[in-house]
Amino acid sequence: MRIKRRKSKVVKIGKVAIGGGNPIAIQSMVKCATSDIRGVVKQIRELELLGCAIVRVAVKDLRDARAIAKIKAKIKIPLVADIHFDRRLALEAIACGADKIRLNPGNIYRKQDVVEIAQAAKRRKIAIRVGLNSGSLPGGSLKGRRPAESMVKSALDYLKIIESCNFYDIVISLKASNIFDTIEAYRLISRRCDYPLHLGITASGSFFSGIVKSSIGIGCLLLEGIGDTIRTSLTEPPHTEVETAKNILAALGLGAFGPEVISCPTCGRCEVDLVRLVNDFQRKLNASGRRLNPNLKIALMGCVVNGPGEAAAADMGVAFGKKSGLYFKRGKAVKKVSFSKCIPVLLKEMGG
């Protein structure tokens, strides 16, 4: 099945084009103080290697805003400044070379402030993300409305102000911590404008909770063709956010970031330590970076019940029996392989 993506306008964030059918860009956010330039650059470089396309930093004071120029000189991917409360921080971040400004209509709402920021962004030819969060909606917008409707109304009101400056390099996000509100909000806004949409479930929690909520919420919208860039907001290190985003996109056929591993959950029929083997293999694949063909499918299966079928259907695979397995390549059983030689054999076959 191919997902039919919503037609959206193309907006450039530095060198990365989002919207208009461009690949869905993965974003993340640095989790240390922006004035800690060394720490920020270290995190961003790790994210670059993992495949993060756009990264955001929190700008809570002028020191943070001024750090942007120094950080930008040391990284390759576009840098977004996350601004709340104070228009001067947006203006300083723009002057210091931010590739996009995220504004929260819940706390920067005076028309003259928004106009001033939009005009500065227009002069520098950078984009603005109108970033609504259910936790910080503009006062009064909740009255009598569902959270999704409130977010959409606030976003549309804000767009009018920005568009009054003849500024259209806009991205929109409408994030709630509740999956249903988030999905409803994005569905509604996707029918009201063609700006690219940045998807995410805000404050989704730590590892399991965050990954599950983000996968369901973001995944549901992507399946409907909605969404041009994604961030999984996890109470985890940023590399976990990027790994999660990559897995969501890969599962939906919207990106390939490395060979796909298919493995069974194991049960009482399995006579090898498949859990250890699969984890070791995945670690080795991750360490191989982008050298390996991302379109390969490799099956590692615990027994002969489903093993031969899955291994034969993949590009290569092993169906284990007792201590050894049968190695399949492009549908054909080729040879026996011992448990301890399985990973080296597969990596060699893959050219890794």
Q: What's the burial of 37, exposed, middle or buried (CB within 10 Å: 0-12/13-18/19+)?
A: middle
What is the 3-class SS of 76-130, one letter each residue?
A: CCCEEEEECCCHHHHHHHHHCCCCEEEECCCCCCCHHHHHHHHHHHHHHCCEEEE
Give whichever of 105 and 302 is closer to ligand SF4, judged by the CB atom.
Answer: 302
Between 97 and 309, CB nearer to ligand SF4: 309
Measured from the Cβ of residue 279, the count of other Cβ atoms closer than 10 Å reads 12
Q: Which is nearer to ligand SF4, 201 or 326 (CB)?
A: 326
- Minimum distance between the CB of residue 267 and ligand SF4, rounded to whole angstroms? 3
Binding interface with ligand SF4 (CB under 6 A): 264-267, 269-270, 301-303, 305-307
Q: Least separation, in Å, of the C-beta of 302 and ligand SF4?
A: 3
Other Cβ atoms within 10 Å of 183 Cβ, number: 22
Phi and psi for 344 in degrees, rounded to 5? -60, -40
Please provide the distance, in angstroms rounded to a whole number, between the alpha carbons at the two ends of the chain.
30
List the Cα angle 288/43/75 in 5-degree steps. Answer: 90
- Amino acid present at 299: A
Q: In this complex, which beta carbon is closest to ligand SF4, that of residue 18 or of residue 319?
A: 319
* Cβ pair 308, 326 in contact under 8 A: yes
- Measured from the CB atom, the residue of 255 and 302 that comes closer to ligand SF4 is 302
- Residue in 226, 143, 240 with CA at minimum distance from that of residue 185: 226
**Whole-number minimum distance, CB 333 to ligand SF4, in Å?**
16
Least distance in Å: CB of 318 to ligand SF4? 12
H/E run at residue 153: helix 147-163
Using CB positions, name the residue nearest to ligand SF4: 302
Kindly tell me which of 158 and 320 has the beta carbon lying closer to ligand SF4: 320
Strand partners, 328: 317, 333
Residue closer to ligand SF4, measured from CB, 18 or 346: 346
Element (H, E) at 320: strand 316-320
Nearer to ligand SF4, 195 or 320 (CB): 320
State the nearest-atom distance from the C-beta of 300 to ligand SF4, in Å: 10
Shortest distance in whole angstroms from residue 284 CB to ligand SF4: 21
Least distance between ligand SF4 and beta carbon 338 (Å): 18
The count of other CB atoms within 10 Å of the CB of residue 323 is 10
Give least dist CB 321 to ligand SF4, A: 10
